[in-house]
Structure 1
Amino acid sequence: MYDAEIQSLRTLINSYTINGDSPALINDMKCKLERKYEEALKDVHHNKLCQLSDGRWKTKNPQIARKTRFELLEALYECYFGTKILTIAEVFEQWIEEYKQDTLLGHRSILTYERYKSDWIRFYEGSAIASMNIGDVKVSTIKSHYKAICANGAISRKTLNNAKTILNHVFDFAVDHDYVSANAARSVNTRDIHCKEVNNELKVYSNEEREKIITQAELEDDVFARAIILMFCSCTRIGEIRALKWEDVDFENRTMYIHREMVRRKDSSGHEYFECVNHTKSGLKEGNRMQPLSDKAVEVLKAQRRTNPFGEYVFLYKDAPLVSNTINHHLKRICERADVEYMSSHKIRFWSVTNMYANGMQQADIQRMAGHADPATTDHYKRVSRLGDIDTDSWNEMFG
């Protein structure tokens, strides 16, 4: 069992290190803690601590080696009186390796895995908090780190949320494996942290721009144009549109069932391929949803049916499901011809959610139609000021 004074000293040292306090003060506290470790270990560990030729310190029974004598004493103390020391970085490596295995099994997205790795390198690798024992990390410690990466408005609120996601997952993993008893990261309030100002109101298509794009897409009249129109007539992700099958479309009841997604994978050799999975990004419960079909959606689907009556998937090009980059390439060309500033197909989804908000739909209903697991995600998509007032609450008029 931990000695209360030792635990208090460890917490103070970690806190002072994160806050950049006096190195001399930290060193004095480490010397005091080192003496406390020696006192606690004298009756339980009877083997010498030896310095090796490479500068490291080592002991046996148990056999442990560390860079410094202090670190060796700390490891021995944990061995006899606590649980195994695991730093934030070590827990991250365990969690991300498990996540990687899930991607190989097809349960997770390789793109998300790569983003998590990139975000770890950007926000945590080599930082003071990454080297801390996860059991010693407090809410205040985490908040101090968040303030540091946001200093002088360095990153946006969305980017901060991406950084928070990493630590949330790491602590969830630690709780699941009994490394810690609670997730301190999820208790951090970041609303008062100043982030870079971003004008998100313009990052969505307006109603007028939507109409121009649909008009031009109807002139193009190809499989890519029809996929783009359907996205503007629904609330779907591009991967869900690509994975849509004719068996999911019910013309009689004017609905389509969204419950699949096309995702990018990598095989054991690192080669990329696309796979249709029987769930959406949010998972089975929140992601699966039945969406009504507006008049325009029915019209475009029937047009696509005439050109592709026997294919398994609704949208095929050269007998294969569409590719996201190619859809966006066609969207960019349509925008240029319609004299509309191009934004990626993901911004069509922003328009859909914003449109539902502007029509007075309840957030719970919008969240369900968007297939979001978290209401905060749904709220992030809202860009009402670009749309103006809309009186109707009819799905057909919203997406017709």
Structure 2
Amino acid sequence: MKNRNSDEILQYIASSGMLDIGNVERAIDMQKNKEYLSKHTQKIWQGKDAFWRTYLPYGKNGRTLIKRKSENSLHNEIISFYRNLEENPTIEDVFSEWNDRRLSLGKIKKSTYERNLRIFRRHYSVFGKEKLKHLDKRDLIDFLEEQISIYHLTAKGFSNLKSLTRGFLKRASATDLISFTAEDVFQRLDLTDTTFKKTIKEDYQEVYNDQEMQLILDYLMKNPDSTNLAICLIFVTGLRVGELVALKHEDFDELSVKVRRTETRYKNKAGKNVYEVKDFPKSAAGVRTIPVPADYAWLLKRIRLLNPFGEYVFMGRNGRLTTNSVRSRLRTICQKLEIYPKSPHKIRKTYGSILLDNNIDHRLIKDVMGHTDILCTETHYHRNRKTIEVKQDILSQIPEFRAN
């Protein structure tokens, strides 16, 4: 007996009159209409005036009341609404499906999911209601360029908006909702180096100078509780604060610290911050082993004695230290020592600047910083750590600048 595919069989049945295509199409439509009605979770009721009513999920308040003379007419209106939603969704619909799908597939963490929501709500709260099929790439180009001027976006701020937009446009293109691609939009943006807002941060805001670093280290060593020892470790390893609070005893030996995981944060349904540890650092380059300077070998010994029977090394009153608790402690110490308050990330920048100032081999710098390119360290982490007095003293020693 010959093997025949399903298309051949169906074609034969239809051509022979054994199958009524019209009945099949009507049955499919009926099934589809049931699916649309099942999506509608709002109450349907008949008022005293005999009209049938329900709310459809659109409008200023998130819902709009509709009424029809018969229940069947109301059902047809509901079906029409959900069919149109499926066949011509809004930008917000496509974004939500894309963002939800990536989370469910494990492609993003809850913290990234929440960050996407914040960016979308900030920029697309109005434009996001537009039907995607009604737009062309020029509409999106104009919208994106306007966001830069409306919100005075920095290059980094626009990069976040661009990444989010590229993501849901690729999803729209893959599902044939648009005839253009994300790159068709971005390649036509009219952007220059002067387009974005420039943020000027002084060196004293970005790194700790020698005097400040010594003041803090002295304080930390005189008050060696778990949080202070953790901050001290950042100064001598350049760890990201998320990597720091995720350290376990297995990550330490007598000479070094292994980085294998990091903390992630997101908001739960109640709007409260939830801190979790994910078993992978920020990037592939983040997996590394950092040697600790010999004069700080004592620090590793002290740290290894902390919480010897617990899963995580750095613990506080309410369990594992979080990034927020480390930031709060460092801010308090800076205020106590009358130092311009700087975050744990500024300690990391200080560490990177020290390595570059001492002409350390670039390969080693990349390895311990967890960077894939030395340009990242040089461009974003290297700042001048000398005080204004030291700078003045250096210039004053130049013969040409000395008074005769």
Does structure 1 conserve the Cα–Cα contact (< 8 Å) formed by 2:261 and 2:278?
yes
Shift of 1:243: 0.9
Partner of 1:169: 167
Is 1:213–2:211 an aligned residue pair? no
Does structure 1 conserve the Cα–Cα contact (< 8 Å) formed by 2:208 and 2:346?
no
Distance 2:334 2:214 in 1: 11
> Compared with structure 1, are the counterparts of its residues 222 and 372 closer, same or farther at alpha carbon in structure 2 (3 Å cutoff)?
same
Shift of 1:326: 1.9
> Compared with structure 1, are the counterparts of its residues 365 and 150 closer, same or farther at alpha carbon in structure 2 (3 Å cutoff)?
farther
> Compared with structure 1, are the counterparts of its residues 340 and 267 closer, same or farther at alpha carbon in structure 2 (3 Å cutoff)?
closer
Shift of 1:204: 1.3
Q: Secondary structure at the match of 1:339?
A: coil
Shift of 1:206: 2.7
Amino acid at match of 1:316: M
Paired positions, count: 315
> Compared with structure 1, are the counterparts of its residues 379 and 115 closer, same or farther at alpha carbon in structure 2 (3 Å cutoff)?
farther
The residue correspondences of 1:255-266 to structure 2 (distance < 5 A) are 255-264=256-265
Partner of 1:371: 370
> Compared with structure 1, are the counterparts of its residues 332 and 193 closer, same or farther at alpha carbon in structure 2 (3 Å cutoff)?
same
Shift of 1:123: 1.5
Match of 2:158 among 157, 160, 164: 160
Amino acid at match of 2:288: R
Is 1:204–2:206 an aligned residue pair? yes
Is 1:117–2:120 an aligned residue pair? no
> Compared with structure 1, are the counterparts of its residues 122 and 307 closer, same or farther at alpha carbon in structure 2 (3 Å cutoff)?
closer
Shift of 1:380: 6.1
Amino acid at match of 1:162: N
Distance 2:366 2:133 in 1: 34
Distance 2:351 2:174 in 1: 37
Partner of 1:242: 245
Q: Secondary structure at the match of 1:198?
A: coil
Distance 1:191 1:238 in 2: 34
Shift of 1:342: 0.9
> Compared with structure 1, are the counterparts of its residues 177 and 327 closer, same or farther at alpha carbon in structure 2 (3 Å cutoff)?
same
Identity of aligned residues (%): 25
The residue correspondences of 1:67-78 to structure 2 (distance < 5 A) are none
Distance 1:259 1:370 in 2: 14
Distance 1:228 1:186 in 2: 42
Does structure 1 conserve the Cα–Cα contact (< 8 Å) formed by 2:264 and 2:276?
yes
> Compared with structure 1, are the counterparts of its residues 201 and 239 closer, same or farther at alpha carbon in structure 2 (3 Å cutoff)?
same
Partner of 2:348: 349
Shift of 1:322: 0.8
Partner of 2:337: 338
TM-score of the pair, normalised by structure 1: 0.64
Does structure 2 conserve the Cα–Cα contact (< 8 Å) formed by 1:242 and 1:261?
yes
Does structure 1 conserve the Cα–Cα contact (< 8 Å) formed by 2:365 and 2:374?
no
Shift of 1:339: 2.4
Q: How big is each residue's C-alpha offset from its partner over 1:37-65, in whole Å with a ceiling of 9 and x where there is no partner?
A: xxxxxxxxxxxxxxxx9799x9x9xx745
Partner of 1:145: 143
Q: Secondary structure at the match of 2:289?
A: strand
Amino acid at match of 1:341: Y
Distance 2:288 2:234 in 1: 15
Partner of 2:15: none
Shift of 1:318: 4.4
Q: Secondary structure at the match of 2:305?
A: helix
> Compared with structure 1, are the counterparts of its residues 376 and 273 closer, same or farther at alpha carbon in structure 2 (3 Å cutoff)?
same
Q: How big is each residue's C-alpha offset from its partner over 1:297-326, in whole Å with a ceiling of 9 and x where there is no partner?
A: 533121222344443322223483212222
Q: How big is each residue's C-alpha offset from its partner over 1:140-168, in whole Å with a ceiling of 9 and x where there is no partner?
A: 65453333122278233332233223213
> Compared with structure 1, are the counterparts of its residues 262 and 364 closer, same or farther at alpha carbon in structure 2 (3 Å cutoff)?
same
Shift of 1:136: 5.3
Is 1:312–2:314 an aligned residue pair? no
Distance 1:93 1:293 in 2: 45
Q: Secondary structure at the match of 1:384?
A: coil
> Compared with structure 1, are the counterparts of its residues 190 and 206 closer, same or farther at alpha carbon in structure 2 (3 Å cutoff)?
farther
Q: Secondary structure at the match of 1:314?
A: coil
TM-score of the pair, normalised by structure 2: 0.63
Does structure 2 conserve the Cα–Cα contact (< 8 Å) formed by 1:123 and 1:149?
yes
Q: Secondary structure at the match of 1:342?
A: coil
Distance 2:173 2:369 in 1: 30
Q: How big is each residue's C-alpha offset from its partner over 1:75-122, in whole Å with a ceiling of 9 and x where there is no partner?
A: 79xx9xxxx5454333211122224446xx7x7443333222121111
> Compared with structure 1, are the counterparts of its residues 200 and 269 closer, same or farther at alpha carbon in structure 2 (3 Å cutoff)?
closer
Q: Secondary structure at the match of 1:262?
A: strand
Shift of 1:258: 0.5
Q: Secondary structure at the match of 2:160?
A: helix
Q: CA RMSD in A?
A: 4.3
Q: How big is each residue's C-alpha offset from its partner over 1:145-196, in whole Å with a ceiling of 9 and x where there is no partner?
A: 3331222782333322332232133234445656567432554574435233
Does structure 2 conserve the Cα–Cα contact (< 8 Å) formed by 1:212 and 1:340?
no
> Compared with structure 1, are the counterparts of its residues 101 and 302 closer, same or farther at alpha carbon in structure 2 (3 Å cutoff)?
same
Does structure 1 conserve the Cα–Cα contact (< 8 Å) formed by 2:252 and 2:258?
yes
Amino acid at match of 1:171: L
Does structure 2 conserve the Cα–Cα contact (< 8 Å) formed by 1:201 and 1:386?
no
Amino acid at match of 1:125: S
Shift of 1:247: 0.9
Partner of 2:302: 303
